[in-house]
Every structure is written in structure tokens, then in C-alpha cells.
Amino acid sequence: MVKIRTIVVSVILSMLFCTSSGADDNGLWEKYKTTFIQADGRVVDFYQGQMSHSEGQGYGMLLSVLYNDKSTFDKLYKWTKNNLMLRKDNLSVWSWGKRANDKWDVIDYNNATDGDVLIAFALIKAANKWQNNAYKTEGTKIVGAIRANLSVKWQGLNVLLPGYYGFTKNDSIVLNPSYIIPPAYKLFASVDDKAFWEKTYKDSITFLGQCKFSKYKLPGDWIALTGKGLQLSSENPQVFGYDAIRTFLYLSLDKVVPYPEGLKEISKIYKQAGSIPAQIDLSDNATKASVSTDTAPSGFYAIYSFAFSKSGDGELSAKLSKEAQDKLTNEKENYYSYTLYLLVKKGNDL
């Protein structure tokens, strides 16, 4: 009886969270556009000084495809092309906002690989959806640039640097696991070097499976690849939080149960505290108090709901999906959380 009930709850959850139509679903997208996308196609991150970044533009473009909204896609793409796609190597500058001189312009000309991957992913999906060769041509250029400029080998695995500059040292490479987006690599194999991207896809699943630290068995926001193996980066907060939560989303999208040991720990924390923390300290000196007292936002709850549905815990999944919906109504300007929530809603279309 318990097994049957779990299956029923899982089915209900997929109807609630991973559907591609419905008035409520489209209403959420309309609210997202009204709140975060300017008339000129700039996605605004209110929590970071109203700046824009390649990640936000890429997510916005991808959501436009998933919601079959070509006019919004074209606005986003135009702004991105005019303001971020300025480098000669076909990678985008990563940040745009208010500079020290009060002028709104590029802040940092380095790229952010997750932004480049998301923009290319969106362009190629748009090309396939709307039969537009220009999108495909542009997306393919970006994919080739990612392969040519950002790929490195580590212990036989293909991995992508987080950016062109600043992440390699003599004895280590610093990576952000949440910049690894396996579903995109699968699509890239259809337009660029097939052997490279098929290997990168397989290696990314393997690599993410190795990125687990402390008793919580969770990935860090930033990690270091050294001769001794994987370590938490000493140059960044040694936490599972704002960034690493996306690894659960991307693996779940690829039909992989993400970090099963970590999910069990998250479940324990939730059942004991009645909420899920925004971050967890993974460092060697972490104590019980290092589990953040700040509650995770809606988008995190949505991702956990998605992940628990993949692991077979349908009841917890359904409960978290309801809490995610409730939380979303109180998050007025949290671009990141809202974006993650919508990506989970459209999970079956990715």
C-alpha cells in the first residue's frame, strides 16, 4: 500500500511541477517577464545591484524557448548580442551594470562559462523549435568557442573552466560544479565535435558524482582539482549553497538521481528542523551550527522536490513542491529563485 501511495504521489507531483501548459504556468512566465525582463530585453538581477549577466540572459532565453515565446526570445537575444557578445573569441562578457563612474556598461570582460553554455543551449533549442538557421549558426559558434577556449583534461576527464581567465594555477584548477550542464552537452554534440561533446557529457556525470564532501556528501559551490584529487576550494567559502544547488537540477533533468547520500542528509535536516537551509558548511571544522539558519528560497525547494521525485520519495517531493509554491508568492524580486522554479516547472521539456 505504501509503495502504491508513493507512486500516486509521484504522478501527482509530475502533473504539478513538470508540465508544459496551463493557465497558472503561463501566468508565472508573464509575471517573470513583467518583474525581471526590461522592455529592451535586459534581465535584471535585483539582488546584485540591478546588474545583468550572461547567466541571466541565457536563462531568460532558454525559458523563452520553453514557453514558446519567440518575441521575448528575440528581445533577449538582441540585448545580449549588443551588450554582452563583444569578445572576439565568441564568448560573452559576463557582467553588465552600474560602474563606479555611474555609467551603465560592461563591468567585467571575462566570461562565465555557465552563461555561455546557457546562451548556446537556448539558441540551438530555439533553432530547432522555430526552424531558424541564424540561431543555429550563432549557437554553433559559441559551442565551438567553449570547446576551443575552456576545455581542459583532468585525470582523463573533459572538464570546462568556469571562465577564460583566473581559474588555473600551477598546482590546481578551480571549478564551479554548478557550471556543469550535462543536458546542454548532449545537444551540443548535434552541432559541433560529436566525439568531444559525447565524452564531455559522460565525463560530466562521472565528475559530478565525485564532487561530494563532508558527512553530508554534497558538492561545494567551488572546488579545486589538484594532484591529490578533488578538494573544496580554499579561496572560496566551503559551502553547499547558492551555486551548488543547481547540480541537483541539472542531474535530475538528465534522469539521474543526484547525490542520494546527500538527499538523505537533506531529508534528515528537513524533518528535524521543519525547513531546508539556504546553505551547509562543508569545511573540515564545520559544526552542527554551520547548517544555516536562513531558510532556502522557493527555487531551492522546487529543485529538492524534483530531486526527491527522482529518488522515489514522492511524499516528501509533493510536500516540498507545495512549500515552493507558497514561498514564491513572497519572493518579489528574487530573480535566481524564480528562474530555478520555472526551470523545474519545465523540466520535462529540457
Overall number of domains in the chain: 1
Position 13 scores a pLDDT of 47
Cell of 193: 565535435
Note if 25 is an active site residue: no
Q: SS3 for 179-226, per residue?
A: HCCHHHHHHHCCCCCHHHHHHHHHHHHHHHHHCCECCCCECCCCEEEE
In a domain, 112, yes or no: yes
CATH assignment at residue 149: 1.50.10.10
In a domain, 50, yes or no: yes
What's the pTM?
0.93
Of the listed 114, 203, 254, 281, which one is catalytic?
114
Q: How confident is the model at residue 228 (pLDDT cuts 50, 70, 90)?
A: confident
Q: How confident is the model at residue 94 (pLDDT cuts 50, 70, 90)?
A: very high
Q: Contact at 8 Å (CB) between 10 and 314?
A: yes
Of the listed 24, 30, 55, 74, which one is catalytic?
55
Note if 114 is an active site residue: yes
In a domain, 285, yes or no: no
Q: What is the pLDDT of residues 289-338, one digit of tens each?
A: 589 999 999 999 999 999 999 999 999 999 999 999 999 999 989 999 99
Position 17 scores a pLDDT of 53
In a domain, 165, yes or no: yes
Q: Which domain holds residue 167?
A: 37-210
In a domain, 66, yes or no: yes
In a domain, 167, yes or no: yes
In a domain, 77, yes or no: yes
Whether 11 has a pLDDT exceeding 80, the answer reads: no
Task: Measure the CA–CA gap between 43 and 61, rounded to whole angstroms.
Answer: 10
If one counts every other C-beta atom within 10 angstroms of the C-beta of residue 262, the result is 22
In a domain, 17, yes or no: no
